Amino acid sequence: IYIHDEYQKTADWLMSQTKHRPQVAIICGSGLGMLADTLKCQDSFAYSDIPGFPQSTVQGHAGRLVFGELKGKTCVCMQGRFHMYEGHSLCKVVRVFKLLGVDTLIVTNAAGSLADGLQPGDIMVIKDHVNFPGMGGLNPLTGPNDDKFGPRFPAMSGCYDKGLRCVAMEVAKQLGVANIMQEGVYAMVGGPNFESIAEARLLHRLGVDAVGMSTAPEVVVATHCGLRVFGLSLITNKVVKSYEDSESVNHDGVLEVGRLRSHTVQQLVTELISRMEINNNTTTDNVA
């Protein structure tokens, strides 16, 4: 879907099917879809039944939109995301969430670590990103700008909300998992192949802490339309940087670490949502 009226049609259809009016949207990363299962009073929709919605095709991404309550806040959860490598036009369904009245977007992903201090099973709170496809022109905001959503030239400094990052670190302390959590920079590459050793070394030298194949377009679209964003990467593997290293990464291994840490990620996100203050966005201030 491309134009405002089409996003609006999708939002109107969803509002006719559920009484929930979400304040928080959550996008679940590979193997992290169980977050959606914890929502209370659920209404859920297969992507294939939602007018204007693309389909998700990757194992570990169920393809359902789930509405429900979490710690007194109304949430909508994408159990399954759309990746550029699936051939989707870059993900703009976040705009539907804006039209539903959402104030805050939470993105989670599985990522490989380049930083020596980040081990599989660790959680990286995303401080900033490098949007490699975006910098090269594969940007979800390419095309005529829709002023109803946001400006032609949106700033991206500060796109990962500092306040929410601080709260997340406090929550980690409270849950006793501060030792596995730190902030870092996420880089998006196009995929679907994992990095070559030379590419991994390049990313490392550029100061990237973790790499994956998603998230940046979602955050660009969210920031453009004025949503507050929090993001975290579950580190599922170390990216191979040495020609002496005989290990190699695969998607099943990524999903397995997701399963092992799913409970911790779910606790963190739940507690963060519980503590966050919501700016009532029902008038969708940025949207005419």
Ligand X SMILES: O=P(O)(O)O[C@H]1O[C@H](CO)[C@@H](O)[C@H]1O
Contacts to ligand HPA by CB under 6 A: 110-112, 194-195, 211-213, 236-237, 239, 249, 254
What is the torsional sign of CA 127, 133, 135, 137? negative
Q: Is 277 an active-site residue?
A: no
| CA-based end-to-end distance of the chain | 19
Of 281, 141, 122, 272, nearest to 219 by C-alpha is 141
Q: Which does 15 bind (CB under 5 to 8 A by kind): ligand HPA, ligand X, none?
A: none
The DSSP annotation for 191-214 comes to: -SSPPPHHHHHHHHHTT--EEESS
Does the annotation list 224 as a binding residue?
no
Q: Please state, in angstroms and rounded to a whole number, the distance separating the CA atoms of residues 126 and 28.
A: 15
Q: Name the one residue in this structure whose structure tokens are 């990313």.
A: 203
Q: Which does 221 bind (CB under 5 to 8 A by kind): ligand X, ligand HPA, none?
A: none
Query: 70-84 as b/e, with b when 16 or more CB fall inside 10 Å?
Result: beebbbbbbbbbbbb
Candidate list 30, 131, 233, 262, residue with the active-site label: 30
* Selected range binding ligand X among 144-152, 155-163, 176-184, 211-219, rule: CB under 6 A: 211-219
Structure token pair of residue 104 = 């805050």
Q: Is 30 an active-site residue?
A: yes
Q: Please state, in angstroms and rounded to a whole number, the distance separating the CA atoms of residues 107 and 221.
A: 12
Q: Which residues contact 196 (CB under 8 A, 6 or more apart)?
A: none
Q: Which does 237 bind (CB under 5 to 8 A by kind): ligand X, ligand HPA, none?
A: ligand HPA
Candidate list 56, 214, 262, 281, residue with the active-site label: 214
Q: Does 109 bind ligand X (CB under 6 A)?
A: yes
Q: Is 129 an active-site residue?
A: no
What is the torsional sign of CA 143, 144, 150, 152? positive
Q: Does 83 bind ligand X (CB under 6 A)?
A: yes
For ligand X, which residue of 29, 33, 68, 217 counts as binding (CB under 6 A)?
A: 29
- From the CB of 67, what's the least distance to ligand X, in Å? 21
Does the annotation list 67 as a binding residue?
no
For ligand X, which residue of 36, 213, 216, 257 counts as binding (CB under 6 A)?
A: 213
Taking a C-beta distance cutoff of 8 angstroms, is the pair 121, 43 a contact?
A: no
Closest to ligand X by CB, 115 or 257: 257
Q: Which does 270 bind (CB under 5 to 8 A by kind): ligand HPA, ligand X, none?
A: none
Which residues are documented as binding site?
30, 61, 81-83, 110, 195, 214, 237
User: Which stretches of the chain bind ligand X, using CB under 6 A?
Assistant: 29-30, 58, 81, 83, 109-110, 191, 212-214, 251, 254
Catalytic residues: 30, 61, 83, 85-86, 110, 213-214, 237, 251
